[in-house]
Amino acid sequence: MSTPGEVTRLLGLFSEGDRNAQSEVVRLVYGELRRLARGYMRRERPDHTLQPTALINEAYLRLVGQEVHWKNRSHFLGIAAQQMRRVLVDHARKHGAGIRWGSKEQVVLRESLVMAIEQPETLMAIHEALEKLASEYPRQASVVELRFFGGYAEKEIAEISGTSIETVKRDWQFAKTWLSRQLRQGK
């Protein structure tokens, strides 16, 4: 495990443009999130409900601590959302053997996602649709990633991506519709 000071230092280097620092942060964040997520999945409620925001907050406190420059915080949150997605997708891949399409439940994209890990097929479908969206509309896809996998509020997303709240709202609306169409069409 790294000390909070180390991640803060790496985030500092990262905002000065150090790419190695970024990949190091990614590695640390992924490791920490995966560790936490696995602990929760194994030991928590039977429906394995996982709150990404809670996990990211815990990882944040463990890796960074309270005091950090807002720009570093934005970097951290951006990375954390990506890595949260990776953790969830890894998990779904592993436990999604025999993926079944056409489940009856509605896929609900909420502002802060409460992810039911027991529906790996849903998660994988969203992940794949999001990959497609990202290849055509990268900015809009990143809003979904931050909101869906990071559970961030519009204001935080605007901060992280350096745009206005209005743009975030519009991107979310567009991406949601696009994903809806994609998911309804199947793979």
First to last CA, the chain: 39
Chain residues in the site for other proteins (CB under 8 A): 1, 35, 38-39, 42-43, 46, 94, 97, 101-111, 121-122, 125, 136-137, 139-140, 170-171, 173-174, 176-181, 183-187
Query: Which residue number, 70 or 97, has a Cβ lying nearer to other proteins?
Result: 97
C-alpha distances in Å from residue 108, one per residue of 4, 52, 113, 180, 183 = 35, 15, 8, 10, 12
**C-beta atoms surrounding 139 within 10 Å:** 14
Query: Which residue number, 12 or 31, has a Cβ lying nearer to other proteins?
Result: 31
C-alpha distances in Å from residue 78, one per residue of 13, 21, 56, 64, 145 = 16, 15, 11, 14, 9
Distance, CA of 114 to CA of 169 (rounded, Å): 20
Minimum gap (Å) between residue 124 Cβ and other proteins: 9
Query: Which residue number, 19 or 42, has a Cβ lying nearer to other proteins?
Result: 42
Minimum gap (Å) between residue 106 Cβ and other proteins: 5
Query: Which residue number, 75 or 147, has a Cβ lying nearer to other proteins?
Result: 147
Minimum gap (Å) between residue 101 Cβ and other proteins: 5
Minimum gap (Å) between residue 71 Cβ and other proteins: 26
Minimum gap (Å) between residue 32 Cβ and other proteins: 11
Tokens of 156: 């935080």
